[in-house]
Amino acid sequence: MCHFEQLIPISRPLNYNSVNLPKLNFMLSPIGLPIADDESAMRLALLQAQQAFAAGEVPVGAVVVLDGVVIGAGFNCPITTLDPSAHAEMVALRDAAKRIGNYRVTDATLYVTVEPCTMCSGLLIHSRIGRLVYGATEPKAGAVESATQVFSQPWLNHRLDLKGGVLAVECSEIMSEFFQLRRDAKKRLKQASPLPSKD
């Protein structure tokens, strides 16, 4: 699964200096933790993103908060689960829905480190989430304000409150670090196995 109920070892710690997260070699489930404000919840979402990073997945994390308490958590895991729908938002909302016994999570807030895609935006509408808070924008596939604006469509049967840019720098840095490491690894692989000569 892409959320945890116990202490989980972290195989590859994040560069904590750039993202300003606590130095832990384990992850405690955020379920049941009280949330004081948007930044506190986003920091928990960043810790979920770190789990994705450690698993080699694109580091996006999410938590769902209802009545000031975390009721769902998850991180991107489509590769490890062989599930193309296993985005952080999907995993966190599935977790929350199971915990409250209802597929509608009305009045809850979803915190996610990166602007949701079109699929996840549709999920937010169908789940009747009350509020979306995200960190970094996603210029290529963001469906809130970047590539498209799903929530502004007049035919939608649900409206939610939107807030972007919470800890945007930290949320962007973890993504940048992940993709830089991937580019570096590809470069090293290419240099290690040069193309055969045309002789």
Q: Look-up: residue for tokens 């977790």? A: 95
Mean pLDDT along residues 77-100: 97
Q: Indicate the DSSP class of residue 11.
A: S
Of residues 19 and 182, the one with the higher pLDDT is: 182
Reported as a pLDDT band with limits 50, 70 and 90, residue 9 is very low
In whole angstroms, give the CA distance from residue 111 to residue 131.
9
Mean pLDDT along residues 128-137: 98
Tell me the catalytic residues: 89
